[in-house]
Structure 1
Amino acid sequence: MKDSRARIRIPVVPPADEAAGRGSEPGKLLSAREQDTSESRPLYAVPAQIKAQPGSKRATRPKTFRTWGRRLPPGPIAVLTGLILMALILPAVLVWPRGTHPQPAPPGKIQPDTTVQPESTDTKKPAQTKAVKVSVFLSSTGTIETLPLEDYIAGVVAAEMPPEFGYEALKAQAIAARTFIVRRLLANDTSGAPKGADVTDTVQHQVYLPLSAIRQQEKDPQRAAELASIRKAVKETKDIIMTYKGKPITASFFSTSNGYTENSEDVWTASVPYLRSVPSPWDQKIAPGYKETITMKTTDVLDKLGLRGEAVRAASGSGIFPEIKILSTTAGHRIKSIRIGDAVFKGTDLRQRLGLRSSEFTWTIRGDQMVITTYGNGHGVGMSQWGANGMAKEGYTATQILKHYYTGINFAKASQLL
């Protein structure tokens, strides 16, 4: 689910289900063989006939024992045995795996982990053999485009995230987009889409760049290289989705945080365990839309809030804006409820009515105008796209990005669920 003010635009248009902490109790290291604590014994008994020769301090052996200890030249069988052993051992030595040690992460950055892999899959269920298709309603033409799942994901990433974003952020976006559509397909959820379509290409679901638009853009060498990078990110995460308790999550994402993400119940109705408020400090550093200031006429504000009469009662027609007071804030530091005159609004409702980028904002009344400054861009639930970009630039992997923004999620293969 993508917020209408959360998308990032690129030439056409612009955050996974249990925590998987793996570990094992260290076991006792055992030697390759047990020590023999018994007394050492000779390999053979020295015959009683062995006597010291006169004038010699060394014992001599009967003639029958004089060949013991001599180095005899190797016979044909010994030579052949040696050659066979070398033939068997040498290839194993040449291909023996050599340990690789990851380079230390730059100062102040975490050590990147391995490539995203499913951490739990249902091995009892055979892999999906039938190609999964997605039917997308194209709002610009009013037609439906049906294409393979992975091609659809490439179109979503191309539309939702700029290709110059960190590569691991592109991979995280691919997994989030795949999780979103797989959840809908599993639930046979076609809400908001015309008959015959699974989703639309709008922010109501996920913005999608049609195949025809991709082919047209690939004629430009620079754009072709960017799309190739996106396709690579999709390919490297193929079939991977985020789950919670074995089911695909609601992988909501948005453009820019105000420094934190939101708890789901502060924006929608239900409390979702994996959509918890977490810090997102990267946005303020790099996101161009982190802070925005707009100016509106006070009369327009009152009209949009249905409070034109309230202003008259408060100021007797003087045009003075009614008193504004914040009543509560959310875990994500946004306005939860606010009173304007005698009316109380939710911060999310006020944001929608006034068309604000975020429900964290400050205001100043200047005569007949209201100057409003917002922080962040979008509903704030799930993964911040600019936050993901900031994490990728600092060396975090797609796995770490997703586990940061979606609390307690796991990874699985979509083909084992569809």
Structure 2
Amino acid sequence: MHKGMILILAVLIGVMVAVPAALVSLDRNDPSLSSIRVDGGSSAASLDSGPGVKVYLSREKKVETFPMERYIRGVVAAEMPVNFHPEALKAQALAARTYIVDRLSRGDFSDMAKWGKKAGKANVSDTVNHQVFLTDKQLKEQWGDDYETYSALINQAVVETAGQVIQYQGKPIYAAFFSTSNGKTENSEDYFAEEYPYLRSVPSPWDEASPKYRDRKQFAVADFVDKISRSTGKQVAVEAFTGGGWLRVTQRTAGGSADKVQVGDQVFTGRQIREALHLSSADFTFRLSQGTVTVETKGYGHGVGMSQWGANFMAKQGKSAKEIIRHYYRGVEIGSMDSYLKKE
């Protein structure tokens, strides 16, 4: 073959190889092709992406800033059992990210002052007052030899949902979650002060298989009354009552929890009784016998929003993270957090 023809052919082959490679490179740099989606995350996602979150570490008594997705990793690892189904872990990541994005977008961190001057510079604490968060150092201590295995599971859930939040009518929701329901979740106003249209009572029958579904506590009558009086500031008198008439649940919520409770001459909410006695939930019943009050509860937690054990059982039955979210938060969609936060 003529040398000139060989040269031309070589150039053509080079162009044929180079053009597709260039197109692939351009595709990777095209933001529209890295769109966030609930079933695959962002193609450019990493644990070090997203705006910074200033966390008050209560044990160390200091404020440290973490990239958004690394913060979500620490929350999911702390708030949900790591051996839960991957789709449940993804649902937890969505709820955790939505919580902090909503908080950051509102910009009100006045509640941080309770931890002192240093905490006043933070966006959130690592406690149950907000979302429990564990640093990488704490996770290594907790997981030990399983650190790499467990990290991979949590990282996958975070990266595959990176940048995504749960929204209702274009705004991030109050993504409440808890451990185990009594078979139903609660309307938000039946436990919290505010009514949210997406936090409605829904069935969660799977929770009965949770190891936290049932609990029981016993109190001497005098101790029982004293704990309630001390916690609520309302003095309870039972002397005028006979038998068990001084103690009963008089009204229940749509989710089946105690709403109004008669204790002697006082009426309390189910939440007040739960908090005074440190009960697992507000769905309780009483039994009186020989000066002892036995309190039996169903469920674990406040009961509003997503049940974590319910999410895990749903996932095991083949439900996706998106389906889980839409079951526990009514009328919501999944969207990008970029609409609410400025990138740093």
**TM bucket, shorter chain:** 0.7 to 0.9
Letter in 2 for 1:212: K
Letter in 2 for 1:279: P
Once the 2 structures are TM-superposed, how far is the Cα of residue 211 of structure 1 from its aligned partner? 2.6
Helix, strand or coil at the partner of 1:275: coil
Which residue in 2 is equivalent to 1:168?
Answer: 87
- In the alignment, the residues of structure 1 paired with residue 326 and residue 240 of structure 2 have an alpha-carbon distance, to the nearest angstrom, of 51
Letter in 1 for 2:189: E
- In the alignment, the residues of structure 2 paired with residue 336 and residue 397 of structure 1 have an alpha-carbon distance, to the nearest angstrom, of 33
- Structure 2 unaligned residues grouped into runs of 5+: 1-36, 41-48, 113-118
TM-score (norm 1): 0.66
Q: 1:309 to 1:395 in 2, by over 3 A?
A: closer
Helix, strand or coil at the partner of 1:310: coil
Structure 1 residues 143-166: Cα deviation after superposition (integer angstroms, max 9, x where no partner): 112110000000000000111111
Which residue in 2 is equivalent to 1:243?
Answer: 167
Deviates more, 1:362-371 or 1:389-398: 362-371
Which residue in 1 is equivalent to 2:53?
Answer: 134
Helix, strand or coil at the partner of 1:326: strand
Once the 2 structures are TM-superposed, how far is the Cα of residue 268 of structure 1 from its aligned partner? 1.3
Once the 2 structures are TM-superposed, how far is the Cα of residue 216 of structure 1 from its aligned partner? 4.3
> Which of the residues 116, 130, 138 maps onto 2:38?
116
- In the alignment, the residues of structure 1 paired with residue 292 and residue 62 of structure 2 have an alpha-carbon distance, to the nearest angstrom, of 44
Helix, strand or coil at the partner of 2:121: coil
- Structure 1 unaligned residues grouped into runs of 5+: 1-114, 119-129
The answer to whether structure 1 residue 270 and structure 2 residue 194 are counterparts is yes
Alignment of 1:280-299 (within 5 A): 280-285=204-209, 287-299=210-222
Q: 1:131 to 1:178 in 2, by over 3 A?
A: closer
> Which of the residues 136, 152, 177 maps onto 1:253?
177
Structure 1 residues 26-70: Cα deviation after superposition (integer angstroms, max 9, x where no partner): xxxxxxxxxxxxxxxxxxxxxxxxxxxxxxxxxxxxxxxxxxxxx
Which residue in 2 is equivalent to 1:178?
Answer: 97
Helix, strand or coil at the partner of 2:287: strand
Letter in 1 for 2:60: T
- In the alignment, the residues of structure 1 paired with residue 146 and residue 241 of structure 2 have an alpha-carbon distance, to the nearest angstrom, of 58
- In the alignment, the residues of structure 1 paired with residue 166 and residue 211 of structure 2 have an alpha-carbon distance, to the nearest angstrom, of 29
Structure 1 residues 198-242: Cα deviation after superposition (integer angstroms, max 9, x where no partner): 000011000000132234456x34232012110111000000100
Root-mean-square deviation (CA, aligned residues, Å) is 2.0
> Which of the residues 207, 213, 233 maps onto 2:132?
207
- In the alignment, the residues of structure 2 paired with residue 192 and residue 228 of structure 1 have an alpha-carbon distance, to the nearest angstrom, of 34
Q: 1:191 to 1:391 in 2, by over 3 A?
A: farther
Q: 1:142 to 1:209 in 2, by over 3 A?
A: same
Whether the 8 Å CA contact 1:192–1:204 is kept in 2: the answer is: no
- In the alignment, the residues of structure 2 paired with residue 181 and residue 324 of structure 1 have an alpha-carbon distance, to the nearest angstrom, of 41
Q: 1:165 to 1:313 in 2, by over 3 A?
A: same
The answer to whether structure 1 residue 159 and structure 2 residue 81 are counterparts is no
Pick the structure with greater CA Rg: 1
> Which of the residues 120, 123, 139 maps onto 1:198?
123
Whether the 8 Å CA contact 2:75–2:132 is kept in 1: the answer is: yes
Whether the 8 Å CA contact 1:117–1:240 is kept in 2: the answer is: no
The answer to whether structure 1 residue 332 and structure 2 residue 255 are counterparts is yes
Structure 1 residues 158-194: Cα deviation after superposition (integer angstroms, max 9, x where no partner): 0001111111000000000000000001010214222
Structure 1 residues 42-101: Cα deviation after superposition (integer angstroms, max 9, x where no partner): xxxxxxxxxxxxxxxxxxxxxxxxxxxxxxxxxxxxxxxxxxxxxxxxxxxxxxxxxxxx
Helix, strand or coil at the partner of 1:195: helix
Once the 2 structures are TM-superposed, how far is the Cα of residue 309 of structure 1 from its aligned partner? 5.8
Aligned length: 288
- In the alignment, the residues of structure 2 paired with residue 136 and residue 350 of structure 1 have an alpha-carbon distance, to the nearest angstrom, of 32
- In the alignment, the residues of structure 1 paired with residue 228 and residue 215 of structure 2 have an alpha-carbon distance, to the nearest angstrom, of 21
TM-score (norm 2): 0.80
- In the alignment, the residues of structure 2 paired with residue 221 and residue 389 of structure 1 have an alpha-carbon distance, to the nearest angstrom, of 25
Helix, strand or coil at the partner of 1:176: helix
Structure 1 residues 230-286: Cα deviation after superposition (integer angstroms, max 9, x where no partner): 01110000001000111100000001100000001101122110000000011102x
